[in-house]
Amino acid sequence: MPVEHNPRTEVLLGHWTNKDLDVLLRQAAGIRDVSDRIDLISRQYLGIPYGVGTLVGSSEVPEVLVINLEAVDCFTYLDYVEAMRLSASFDSFIENLTHVRYRSGIVTYETRKHFFSDWVGSNKIVDITEEVGGTSTKQVLKQLNVRSDGSRLLPGVPPVDRTIRSVSSTIASAVSAKLRTGDYIGIYADTEGLDVSHVGLIATGEDGVKLRHASSVQGRVVEEDFEGYVRRRPGFMVLRPQP
């Protein structure tokens, strides 16, 4: 059963308890290196089922602050990892999640960060796509949330004009050495109105550069070879969490 902290919050912890998460977050908070901290947190999710539509809220339905650790999609996975890496307790995780998922920490559908590029702009996340891609970086001005026919992808959410930078997948092997564990990756979307079609994070190790992500194809959080994954996609964005 959900644990309700207030009428606007719904918590499903899956196999964890509040105490389990307090222990994990205290351990993670003691790790000064951001990459190592994110690696510890994000690997706890490996194998967790992929879940569609776990958030509650729309232009017609009041928004609820959902914490669902039983099942995640690609974006909620990153939501939880980023909020956890900023937290030292379960209570602070809930507070940080409101700021990771919503502009100014205001829990409404309209203020939810629906797009990957919405994460850019604070001192906690920096877009390093151009740093990674160099002169091969592509730059496109997009009107997010507007289809080619002028209709909105997300009713009730205002369109926004935004410059989207991406690295071509054809040079992924040449630039992968610039990526760090914990870098957040967005797969560039050719589709009108979207910045990315999928998100995940980087995990580096002896086996090379991996994409750790919630996969709808495999039905759970997995690791895949990064270069192999992006080779079939048009390109990618890179956001780097800051200390």
Considering the chain, tell me which residue range(s) the CATH 1.10.3670.10 domain(s) occupy. Answer: 9-105
Considering the chain, tell me which residue range(s) the CATH 2.30.260.10 domain(s) occupy. Answer: 117-241
- State pLDDT tens for residues 83-107: 999 999 999 999 999 999 999 999 9
Q: 117-241 falls under which CATH superfamily?
A: putative xylanase like domain (2.30.260.10)
Contact in structure between 196 and 186 (CB atoms under 8 Å) = yes
**123 vs 107, higher pLDDT:** 107
pLDDT bucket at 5, cuts 50 / 70 / 90: very low
- State pLDDT tens for residues 143-196: 999 999 999 999 999 999 999 999 999 999 999 999 999 999 999 999 999 999
- The torsion angle over the Cα atoms of residues 35, 40, 43 and 44, rounded to 10 degrees, is -150
Angle made by CA atoms 116, 29, 243, in degrees to the nearest 5:
50
| Candidate CATH numbers 1.10.3670.10, 1.10.10.2120, 3.40.50.300, 3.30.390.50; the one for domain 9-105 | 1.10.3670.10
* Per-residue model confidence (pLDDT) at position 123: 81
**CA dist., res. 92 & res. 62, Å (int):** 24
Is a pLDDT exceeding 60 seen at residue 3? no
Is a pLDDT exceeding 50 seen at residue 2? no
